[in-house]
Structure 1
Amino acid sequence: MKIQQIRNATIILESGPYRVLVDPMLADQGALPPLRLFGATQRNPLVALPASTGDDLETVTHCLITHCQKGHFDHLDRAAKRWLRDRQIPVICTPNDAGYLAKRGLNVQPLANDHEQPGAFLGGTLRTVKCTHGRGLVGKLMEHGVGYLIEWPGEPSVYLTGDTLLTATVREFVLRHQPQVSVVPAGGARFDIGGDIIMGLEETLEFARLSHGFVVANHLEAISHCPTTRTALRDAAGLAGIEGRLLVPDDGQTLLFPAA
């Protein structure tokens, strides 16, 4: 199995004949608005897509969305909607997002349900995990979405956490299922009010301690309200003695995980 970090939460997950684009944000650098009014007010994304992205996208077979409503352009923006619509790439999503995406002309293939029981997925199985994308007032304004545990025959299990804090639900899920690879949002994003809306440095380290497998950190250095840097996270992983399992890929980098 291969995981290619594209930018922010956007990755390409590859297994056998399938290349699954996850949470695509394909806008040009600076084409999207800021996410804070005070401090860190740069336009988004902060960085351009890797030079190879055009070629990498040509072989995508499916798209998987964790959440996309209420203005979450960093997981599905207008450029990505246009790209998916023009090519009629099958877009797999929760029933909650299916109507929203269908109205925008996408080739929607909704999952059968929104619960943790596994269902069929591209020759393997997939189950959803509840996300908590912020708490308190900010949490009430957010689209919380889901994470996904994907299990393909002969491949390491992979848990795409989606945008979530390290909640009791996430902790219990990791301890019970022990995915061999997890992809977590480590940017520590927050708005002008309220606390973090995704994991930051400390929660990412705690997640890695709970997990026995590899942890891939993304949602870094691409959106203006995410202060965690790759250097800080790599340094912290080294101090914690888990740098061999907590992986912090650069944009465009591909990670290879051997067959289970």
Structure 2
Amino acid sequence: MKLQLLRNATQVLTVNDKQILIDPMLGPKGAYDTIIMTDNGLRNPLVDLPVDPQELIKDIDAVLLTHLHNDHWDPVARELLPKAIPLFCQAGDEDKIREAGFTNITPIENNITWQGISISRTSGQHGTGEIGALMGKVSGYVINDLYIAGDTIWCSDVQNAIDQYQPKHIVLNGGAAQFVKGDPIVMSIDDIRKVSAYAPAATLIIVHLEAVNHSRQSREQIKAAFPNQKVWVPDDGDFFYI
């Protein structure tokens, strides 16, 4: 398998000669308003894609969505992607996706097999307390020995997924994104440290960085926190071979 980070949580996973686009946010830099309940007024995304989105989608065979927040499934993606493309999502999101005109939607409750590729859904916790409840349901996915955790903090759902699937590689959405009140809604450095301690044999790949205005921790901060551990912090456009 080959994984390429494009920006934020948008990635392309190549497996069995199929290219799966994960959580596409394809809009240009500054296309969207600042996220509510933040304090810097910056428009999103904070950076451009490293590829031309119209060229990107020509080679995509399927789309995999962890949830439907704008930084994972934006209007430009909904406009550009072919409406008949195979699209996999968490159960409960299919009606909203269908409203956008997509016709080939497969909700994943537990697991499916597509083109010889096994995709198993995992759960997560997108923050704590009232904020976490407002953020709604989110999912992760395990494909072969790769665990894409999605928008989640360290919690029993992540621990259970590691226990069940024993992944060799784990993609974590980092950056400690946070509103003006409440706790982080994705992995902080402390959370990443807990995953690393719980799954010491796994390589951690940290994404979801420096692309949306509520992100609090940078690539350099995360690299500095894990200088001698199996933690990879890719730049936008980088590839990882699995």
What range describes the TM-score normalised by the shorter chain of this pair?
A: over 0.9
5 Å-filtered alignment, 1:47-126, equals 47-51=47-51, 53-68=53-68, 72-84=69-81, 86=82, 88-111=84-107, 113-115=108-110, 118-126=111-119
Among residues 252, 255, 259, which one is paired with 2:237 in the alignment? 252
Deviation, 1:114, is 1.9
Partner secondary structure for residue 140 of structure 2: strand
Q: Does 1:173 align with 2:157?
A: no
| Structure 1: tracts of 5 or more residues without a match | 152-156
Structure 2: how far apart are the matches of 1:102 and 1:67? Answer: 14
TM-score, length of structure 1 as denominator length: 0.87
Deviation, 1:208, is 2.0
TM-score, length of structure 2 as denominator length: 0.94
5 Å-filtered alignment, 1:156-235, equals 157-211=145-199, 212-235=201-224
* Same amino acid, percent of matched pairs: 30
8 Å CA contact retained: 1:3, 1:12: yes
Cα separation, partners in 2 of 1:180 and 1:83, compared to 1, 3 Å? same
Q: Which residue of 2 aligns with 1:154?
A: none
Structure 2 letter corresponding to 1:58: K
Structure 2: how far apart are the matches of 1:146 and 1:125? Answer: 16
| Structure 2: tracts of 5 or more residues without a match | none
Partner secondary structure for residue 198 of structure 1: coil
CA RMSD of aligned residues (A): 1.6
Structure 2: how far apart are the matches of 1:235 and 1:123? Answer: 39
Report how many aligned residue pairs link the two structures. 241
Structure 1: how far apart are the matches of 2:38 and 2:232? Answer: 32
8 Å CA contact retained: 2:54, 2:80: no
Q: Which residue of 2 aligns with 1:11?
A: 11
Q: Which residue of 1 aligns with 2:28?
A: 28
Deviation, 1:235, is 1.1
Structure 1: how far apart are the matches of 2:106 and 2:83? Answer: 18
8 Å CA contact retained: 2:83, 2:102: no
